[in-house]
Structure 1
Amino acid sequence: MGVGAIVLLIVIFSAGWVVTSGSAQAKAEEMAEDAVLDRLAPICVVQFMQDPNKKERLKELKELDSWKRGDYVKERGWATMPGEKEPDSRVADECARRLMELKQ
């Protein structure tokens, strides 16, 4: 019976049927960060849209390598949220992704 219980526990944990408190906490934090990102990225896009040179800036952004786009967004200040002093890298990356979907 002891071997059967051990095998059962191995199967349950390896199949992901049991969620530990640590993994639940990590998932909750990830979901919270994603929710914040979903709220802040549109603000970044709005700040981009207020740029008087937005057509030129969008063209420049689209010409960049994908890994440079978030930095470009940060440098322009679009990923710096109102009341904050520094831009957020995750917001900048998501904002750049959303800006790439805009038509020129």
Structure 2
Amino acid sequence: MTTPEWLKPGIYGALLGAAFVSIVGFSWGGWMTGNGAEEMANKLAGEEVIAALVPVCLDMSRTDNDRIAKLTTIREASSFKRRDAVMETGWATIPGSDGPNRDLAKACVEGLDLDAS
């Protein structure tokens, strides 16, 4: 099949235009693939679950019989080790799970009032 000479610039323009629109759309236009949308949704859902569980962590810290000793240990830990200290207390363990959650421990450290006496 031969295409007329006058049609070739239009075909090339359409192909280049489609490539340009695709690049601009995915780079700056906010378009994304299904996989990208799924990753974003999973990240957002995880953040929301952690935010919902922070009150559980804080309540566990308030009702713990060894609260004073554990808070002292957390306060004495350096700022980047406090998350690990909260994980060791058991307050960052999601009910029904086997071990502590690092993200929940980080959020719990931020929720604990460590500067108060």
TM tier relative to shorter chain = 0.7 to 0.9
Amino acid at match of 2:19: I
TM-score of the superposed pair, with normalisation by structure 2: 0.74
Amino acid at match of 1:21: G
Conservation of the 8 A alpha-carbon contact between 2:83 and 2:102:
yes
The aligned counterpart of 1:9 is 22
Q: How many residues align?
A: 104
Moved over 4 A (4+): none
Equivalents in 2 of 1:103, 1:5: separation in Å? 60
Shift of 1:21: 0.5
Amino acid at match of 2:74: L
Map 1:22-61 to 2 at 5 A.
22-61=35-74
Conservation of the 8 A alpha-carbon contact between 2:73 and 2:85:
no
Q: Secondary structure at the match of 2:92?
A: coil
TM-score of the superposed pair, with normalisation by structure 1: 0.82
Question: Aligned pair in 2 of structure 1 residues 62, 16: CA closer, same or farther (>3 Å)?
Answer: farther
The aligned counterpart of 1:20 is 33
Q: RMSD of the alignment, in Å? A: 2.1
Where structure 1 has 5 or more consecutive residues not aligned to the other structure, the ranges are none
Q: Secondary structure at the match of 1:66?
A: coil
User: Is 1:62 equivalent to 2:89 in the alignment?
Assistant: no
Larger radius of gyration: 2
Amino acid at match of 1:66: S
Amino acid at match of 2:50: L
Aligned-residue identity in percent = 33
Equivalents in 1 of 2:77, 2:35: separation in Å? 39
